[in-house]
Structure 1
Amino acid sequence: MSFFSKIFKSKSKDSKLKVLGKLAFLEVDMHNHILPGIDDGSQSLEQSIHLLKGLKYMGFDKFICTPHIMDGMYPNNRQIIQQSKQILQEELNRRADKPIIFAAAEHMIDDNLARLVQNNGLCVMPGGYVLIEMSYLQESKALFQTILDIQNLGYQPILAHPERYNYYHYNFNVYKQIKDAGCMLQLNLLSISRYYGVEVKSAALTMIKSGMYDFVGTDLHHNRHLMALEDVVGKYPVRDLLSTCPILNSSLQNHLKNDFEIIETAYV
């Protein structure tokens, strides 16, 4: 091994050690795309295992998998998501130190979501939470009606990564309106860096300072996200930064235990 290779290897090892267990305080990653082969996240079982290993190294050992349900692009449903989850679960069962995974979804606010609400076909997280998202290109006019419709079913909506909706950056009061409507907010961890851009970082930090976030997720799709997340976790004091927000991730582990058998049976 050359002198420079030794230096590089040493730096890489030191960088890894900087992130070891740093996200353990969150306990549950409640937004990710690590189920294999059903959306723009993990494309194979091997990739899913690799991503899980990386997140586990940073401290996560429980995962709520949230593949997209998006009309015309990712036509997933409970059965498709459960099948992908089962493939991953069977592989994990062969391993001694396996994480706990649960299948839900990230629902795009579109015509299909309206049908899912009407037919009670939502993919619900433990605790009765439903993760929703909007297009990055334009605001959904159905947002507040969707929030109400989900609540009327007895579930609690969570809006994914609100800091990434650029059309709200110049109307910051809308975040308060969403919260006042009873919708919780979820931060993407990569948003505290400039991964998605300076404006997204600025919005995320402002919302953190205002104590507006309820949950944190990795929104992990692929290895580039994993490497970027390792850089963020090594560079930023994530736990201290989030101390202004009543982050509820750790409460999900109790729901995971209580709801697992009930919801899993309903999805079969």
Structure 2
Amino acid sequence: MSFLEVDMHNHILPGIDDGSQSVGDSIDLIKGLSGLGFQKFICTPHIMDGVHPNNKSSINRAFTELTKALTESESKVKIFSAAEHMIDEGMVSLIAKDNLCVMPGGYVLIEMSYLAESKALFQTILDIQNLGYKPILAHPERYNYYHYNFNMYRQIKDAGCLLQLNLLSVSRYYGTEVKVAALTMLKSGMYDFVGTDCHHQKHLAALQDVVAKYPMRDLLRTCNILNPTLLNHLNEDASIATG
């Protein structure tokens, strides 16, 4: 997967959400993902009202802790911090205060509940754009309520929102319907970014299996994948997102 150069969606910051629970876990996940070819990671912990109430300060603390451990281990891996923002009331407040955790390049990663579509999706896309940022919808193929309304994906794209594929979605890891949706969107050239969305060792093992079994470079040829362009924006001296 070295051709992607950057994993721009993962949960490898320690002790901050439902991903890595310790620095040791984070180092192990990074070693495994590095074995797949990734050397740069934009870490995107959840910001989710009432579940993962993260903010720039909590994310920066975890980022600093992991950066220190990587430096001490003389790792060549580079990490940067941002977040995966759930579209909820908390995000409304972050937008109002222009306090989003922004990726290098001015991208903002957003997600919705898997249970029900957010009625605020298109307004949120517009609000992010009005702040001068570029929204990316995480793993659209996993929103089951769109599987029988493929036109919604086109409407989201037409609204100027970029789309990010989870690598595991091309397998049956999340189910057959998610795989079908992902492959259909790939064939239609709809994806802009790819991420591992790696949370834990089970994900890592599944990712290793997918990379071994699926011709990912060929599957992605139909899309203009922007992961490598993120390198132009990455500041290796600091976390741009948390400042």
Letter in 1 for 2:187: K
| Residue 110 (structure 2) aligns with | 132
Question: Shift of residue 254 of structure 1?
Answer: 1.1
Distance 1:216 1:178 in 2: 17
Q: TM-score, normalised by structure 1?
A: 0.89
Once the two structures are superposed, what CA deviation does each residue of 1:113-147 show, in whole Å capped at 9, x if it has no partner? Answer: 00000001100000000000000000000000000
What stretches of structure 1 of length at least 5 have no aligned partner?
Answer: 1-22
Q: Which residue of 39, 58, 69 corresponds with 2:17?
A: 39
CA contact (8 A) 2:81 2:240 kept: no
Identify the structure with bigger relative contact order (alpha carbons < 8 Å, sequence gap 6+): 2
Question: Shift of residue 97 of structure 1?
Answer: 3.1
Distance 1:172 1:26 in 2: 26
1:185 aligns with 2:163: yes
Question: Shift of residue 262 of structure 1?
Answer: 7.7
Distance 2:240 2:191 in 1: 26
- The 5 Å alignment of 1:87-236 reads 87-236=65-214
Once the two structures are superposed, what CA deviation does each residue of 1:3-32 show, in whole Å capped at 9, x if it has no partner? Answer: xxxxxxxxxxxxxxxxxxxx0000000000
Question: Shift of residue 95 of structure 1?
Answer: 2.2
1:86 aligns with 2:64: yes
- What SS does the aligned partner of 2:126 have? helix
Distance 1:154 1:67 in 2: 22
Could you list the runs of 4 or more consecutive aligned residues of structure 1 that deviate by over 4 angstroms after TM superposition?
none
Letter in 2 for 1:263: I
How many pairs are equivalent?
A: 243
Letter in 1 for 2:240: I
Q: Which residue of 40, 45, 68 corresponds with 1:62?
A: 40
Distance 2:201 2:240 in 1: 30
Letter in 2 for 1:149: D
**Are residues 35 and 230 of structure 1, via their aligned partners in 2, closer, same or farther at CA, if it must alter by over 3 Å?**
same
Once the two structures are superposed, what CA deviation does each residue of 1:69-102 show, in whole Å capped at 9, x if it has no partner? Answer: 0000000000000000000000000122331100
Distance 1:104 1:232 in 2: 26
What stretches of structure 2 of length at least 5 have no aligned partner?
Answer: none
Distance 1:97 1:47 in 2: 15
Distance 1:225 1:145 in 2: 32
> For the aligned residues, what is the CA RMSD?
1.1
| Residue 13 (structure 1) aligns with | none
Distance 1:167 1:203 in 2: 11
What is the identity percentage for the equivalent residue pairs of Structure 1 and Structure 2? 70
Once the two structures are superposed, what CA deviation does each residue of 1:177-230 show, in whole Å capped at 9, x if it has no partner? Answer: 000000000000000000000000000000000000000000000000000000
| Residue 251 (structure 1) aligns with | 229
CA contact (8 A) 2:6 2:42 kept: yes
Query: Radius of gyration: which is bigger?
Result: 1
Distance 2:175 2:238 in 1: 41
Structure with the bigger percentage of helix: 1
Distance 1:62 1:146 in 2: 28
1:263 aligns with 2:218: no
Distance 2:101 2:18 in 1: 18
Q: TM-score, normalised by structure 2?
A: 0.98
1:237 aligns with 2:212: no
Question: Shift of residue 105 of structure 1?
Answer: 0.1
